[in-house]
């Protein structure tokens, strides 16, 4: 199975900050990497697919980059509604696996 | 609008069975692969299973293989998960999700609200 490792596991930031979350795959997954946002008690929401493509309706302050084994999710200017959990997911091969998540909290 | 609504969760004893359903609306259900994904309390997401648009292909996580069966009824726009021989470690919120696949990407783009399954004596 492909292991997905995210860092950091938690992050405190302020409104307006630029934040970056990292995801590393245990083997090359090309660009088959997706990012999701999840708020407490809610279903995950797709933000970024294919490593760098912005899902329709997602604000442009979200961006993704990377290929192979190393990927990043960047939020250019945090808004109050962005404080949530974020996780990556590889769709290169089954079993599809998710990172353990990064909890983004208000400083 | 595009929507997935799960049902069928509840409390079941170890060794018992449960059947989850997921009703789709707002899109051509028969065009899409579908998946079940679960999340144990306080834990991360775990992919469980997928089924192809015509039911020709299915795939399962090792943790559920031989115990869970995914199926669909395109006429009813519904996805199902039959769960047998349930264990305490199957306790989770179960989400159905639409899998959007093209030549260079593969992602779960629509999710239901989830249904809670609790396995306990």
Contact B109 A55 (CB under 8 A): yes
Over residues A24-48, the pLDDT tens digits come to 999 999 999 999 999 999 999 999 9
- Our CA-based measurement puts residue B84 at a distance from the nearest CA of chain A, in whole angstroms, of 20
Give contacts of A89 with chain B, Cβ < 8 Å.
45, 107-108
For A80, list phi and psi in degrees, rounded to 5. Answer: -55, -35
With a cut of 90, say whether residue B78 has pLDDT above it: yes
| Chain B residue with the nearest C-alpha to that of A5 | B44
**Percent of chain B's residues with pLDDT above 90:** 95
Closest CA–CA distance from residue B41 to any residue of chain A (Å): 11
| Nearest alpha carbon to residue A22 among A65, A61, A82, A72 | A72
pLDDT(B2) > 90: yes
């Amino acid at each position: 199975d492909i292991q997905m490792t995210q860092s950091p596991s938690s992050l405190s930031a302020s409104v307006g900050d630029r934040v970056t979350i990292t995801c590393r795959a245990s083997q090359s997954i090309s660009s088959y990497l997706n990012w999701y946002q999840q708020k407490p008690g809610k279903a995950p929401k797709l933000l970024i697919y294919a490593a760098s493509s912005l899902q329709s309706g997602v604000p442009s302050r979200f961006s993704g980059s990377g290929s192979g084994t190393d990927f990043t999710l960047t939020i250019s200017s945090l808004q109050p509604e962005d404080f949530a959990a974020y996780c990556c997911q590889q769709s290169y091969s089954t079993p599809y696996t998710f990172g353990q998540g990064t909890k983004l909290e208000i400083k | 609008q595009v929507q997935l609504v799960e049902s069928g969760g509840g409390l079941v004893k170890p060794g018992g069975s449960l059947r989850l359903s997921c009703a789709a609306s707002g899109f051509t259900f028969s065009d899409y692969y579908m998946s079940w994904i679960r999340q144990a309390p306080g834990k991360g997401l775990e992919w469980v299973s997928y089924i192809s648009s015509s039911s020709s292909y299915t795939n399962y996580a090792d943790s559920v293989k031989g115990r869970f069966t995914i199926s669909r009824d395109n006429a009813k726009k519904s996805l199902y998960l039959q769960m047998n021989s349930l264990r305490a470690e199957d306790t989770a919120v179960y989400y159905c999700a639409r899998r959007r696949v093209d030549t260079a990407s593969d992602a779960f783009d629509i999710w239901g609200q989830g249904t809670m399954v609790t396995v306990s004596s």
